Amino acid sequence: MSNARSEAPIASGGASLSDEAAARILRAEAARAGTAEAVVAAAARTAEGLEEPPLIEVDDVRYSYGSKESRTKRSVLKGATAAFRRGTMYAVVGASGCGKSTLLSLLGGLDLPKQGEVRFAGEPLDAAGLAEHRRRNVSFVFQGYNLIDYLTAAENVSLATKLPPLPLLEKVGIGPDEARRNVLALSGGQQQRVAVARALASEAPVVLADEPTGNLDEVAAEGVADILRDTAHRMGKCVICVTHSPMLARKADRVFRLAKGRLIKA
């Protein structure tokens, strides 16, 4: 005689389960579901704890133009708060005149907020020194290019790096012939690409770009956007772009909208 105990059959086709077997299965499924939820929650907590601290951040930053007594005083930043990390490309969008370029100036140490704080690696910029911050930590792509007009394209890029400038310029679509020309002999779009190459040549961990695709045709603009994103992902830089371009915003890893003086995750 067999000593094996027979279990209630599990449902298959038209077969039915005993109440005890069904309850046993339901308890097991509930336990598995509970375990899965616990695992997901634990993973989320772990990811949050392991997230790299911000490289540069603004904390309740306020900025206005004009004196307190001036009738023309205009507030553009009214408690802007955001954190920016390495290896990420950010786009800051918003209406013209909302304070996007002002935000870049504050992040780059070109000015200080009227209230609030800008920090790099956890240290306030005013404590570290604005000039030192600009020299070591940030590179700019200015809307007006800010190239040295008596130098060639290659010479402008060489100021920011010890590397050969031609490969960097070719990466943004400037060939050897254009690279040897004085920048004033280049078109606005070409000058913009030289400015991008110069910013990317710098060893600074933060790239601040003010309308980096503004004067480029569609194909060139998309190429520059890809280069900026690649710079963030491959080189681990923090790339922050102010833009009106929907294409550039789509390519960014994260988007902030500046509205009513505050930064809102889009």
Q: Which of the residue ranges 30-39, 71-80, 196-205 has the most confident prediction, judged by mean pLDDT?
A: 196-205
**For position 263, what pLDDT does the model report?**
98
Q: What is the pLDDT of residues 22-48, one digit of tens each?
A: 666 656 665 665 665 555 444 444 444
> What is the separation, in whole angstroms, between the first and last Cα of the chain?
72
- pLDDT single digits (tens) 87-142: 999 999 999 999 999 999 999 999 999 999 999 999 999 888 999 999 999 999 99
162 falls in which pLDDT band (50, 70, 90)?
Answer: confident
SS3 77: strand
pTM: 0.78
Rounded CA separation 231/89 (Å): 9
The domain over range 56-265 is classified in CATH as 3.40.50.300: yes
User: Largest Cα–Cα distance of the chain, in whole Å?
Assistant: 103
- Within 10 Å of residue 161's Cβ, how many Cβ atoms? 15
pLDDT digits (tens, 9 = 90+) for 3-23: 444 444 444 444 445 666 666
**CA separation for the pair 90, 112 (Å, rounded):** 21
Residue 104 to residue 140: CA distance in whole angstroms: 9
Cα distance between residue 21 and residue 237, in whole Å: 58
Q: How far apart are CA 228 and CA 222, in angstroms?
A: 10
The single-letter code of the amino acid at 189 is G
CA dist., res. 168 & res. 157, Å (int): 8
